Homo-oligomer: A and B are copies of this chain.
Amino acid sequence: MDEIVQKAGVLVEALPYIKKFRGKEVLIKYGGAAMDDENNRLNVLQDLVFMNYVGIKPILIHGGGPAITAALKIAGVESKFIDGLRVTDQTTIEVVVDTLGEINKNIVHDLNHLGARAIGLGHGNEILIVKKLSKPADVGFVGEVIDVNTKPIKEITDYGIIPVIYTIGLDEQGQLYNVNADEAAAKIAGAVGVQKMIVLTNVRGVLRNGQNPASLISSCSAEEINTMIKSGTIAGGMIPKVKACVTALNTGVRKAHIIDGRMPHSLLLEIFTDKGIGTEITP
């Protein structure tokens, strides 16, 4: 009985945090390796359901990660990269769209079955208006976001439903383009005006020394991020993630977080702890 009373106490401890965020949008970028492990995936989805139940309005943006590479392989499409960008011809974009659609359907289905309400949004809902990316190179159907249609997102969150969004954009002619999910998340976060943007990754956060998890930077400003990119402290795959955070902060988002999606319930911990986990980036 004592243990059970303690558990009730934990619920009540969460009240001030719930109070702070209820009625507000929080955008979660979820992708790559963090989606591979089935246990982790369930943890993330449960966290979203809990947020939804207590009146927070989560918006989930997901990419495709390893599943896309696998699908292209099955389709016999050879993966070429120029300047780190995947060369994307018509066949490639079709495989990407199908794969993301498949992942989207599964997340939406699972959230609904866990008892929340979720609706999938993608290119059919014309959320992301893009133009062809021309720099650093023309790599085909890879787009840059020039406008975000926030109406379907806001209408859905106003109903208490979780929008689950995959990041395929359209240009004015209706051609589909692949869009970097971190960039898309940042643009959507800014356009919607979310309170917080949380990037779920498979590292502990921004590290002062990339080899050493103990060198985690708990909090830094957007300016410090830029300095660390120039100095090479931040490198590799972390660069697009922190850049997305800075983009979001520059368009009015109050805080951005890079946290470890592999830690059980890391999303709830981020929301329901003062200190937080991972790296917090402020404007």
Q: CB within 8 A of A15: which of B7, B10, B114, B264?
A: B114
Contact call B119/A124, Cβ cutoff below 8 A: no
* Chain B positions within 8 Å of A7 at CB level: 10, 13, 272
Chain A contact residues: helix, strand, loop or mixed:
helix
Which candidate, A17-25, A28-36, A78-86, A229-237, is the interface stretch facing chain B?
Answer: A17-25
B residues in contact with A65, CB < 8 Å: none
Q: Are B5 and A263 in contact (CB under 8 A)?
A: yes
- Copies of this chain, how many? 6
Question: Which residue of chain B lies nearest to A123 when distances are taken between CB atoms in the complex?
Answer: B113
Q: Which of A14-57 contact B (CB under 8 A)?
A: 14-16, 18-19, 22-23, 43, 46-47, 49-50, 53-55
Cβ of B120 and Cβ of A108 under 8 Å apart? yes
- The answer to whether A11 and B268 touch across the interface, beta carbons within 8 angstroms, is yes
Query: What residues of B have a CB within 8 angstroms of the CB of A19 in the complex?
Result: 53, 115
With contact pairs A4-B273, A105-B108, A113-B123 given, residues A50 and B11 touching in the complex (Cβ less than 8 Å)? yes
* Size class of the A contact interface (CB-based, 8 Å): 35 or more
Q: B23 to A265, Cβ gap below 8 A?
A: no
The smallest C-beta distance from A105 to any residue of chain B, in angstroms, reads 4
Closest to A112 in B: B120
Q: With A105-B105, A108-B109 as given contacts, are A11 and B8 in contact (CB-CB < 8 Å)?
A: no
In the bound assembly, the distance between CA atoms of A13 and B11 in angstroms comes to 10
Q: Which residues of B contact A109 (CB under 8 A)?
A: 101, 104-105, 108, 120
Complex Cα–Cα for A121 and B49 (A): 16
Closest to A268 in B: B8
Q: How far is the CB of A109 from chain B (nearest CB, A)?
A: 5
Interface assignment of A74: CB less than 8 Å from any CB of chain B: no
B53 and A18 contacting across the interface, CB-CB below 8 Å: yes
Contact yes or no, A49 B15, CB < 8 A: yes
Say whether B125 contacts A115, CB under 8 Å. yes
A11 adjacent to B10 (CB under 8 Å): yes
CB neighbors of B among A216-256 (8 A)? none
A135 within 8 A of B: no
Q: Is A209 an interface position by the 8 A CB rule?
A: no
**A5: which of B15, B55, B156, B264 is its contact (CB, 8 Å)?**
B264
- A4-B273, A54-B54 given as contacts; is B10 within 8 A of A115 (CB)? no
Supposing A105-B105, A109-B105, A125-B112 touch, asked if A8 and B53 sit within 8 A by C-beta, the answer is no
- A residues contacting B by CB (< 8 A) are 1, 4-5, 7-16, 18-19, 22-23, 43, 46-47, 49-50, 53-55, 101, 104-106, 108-109, 112-115, 117-125, 151, 156, 159, 161, 263-265, 268-269, 272-273, 277
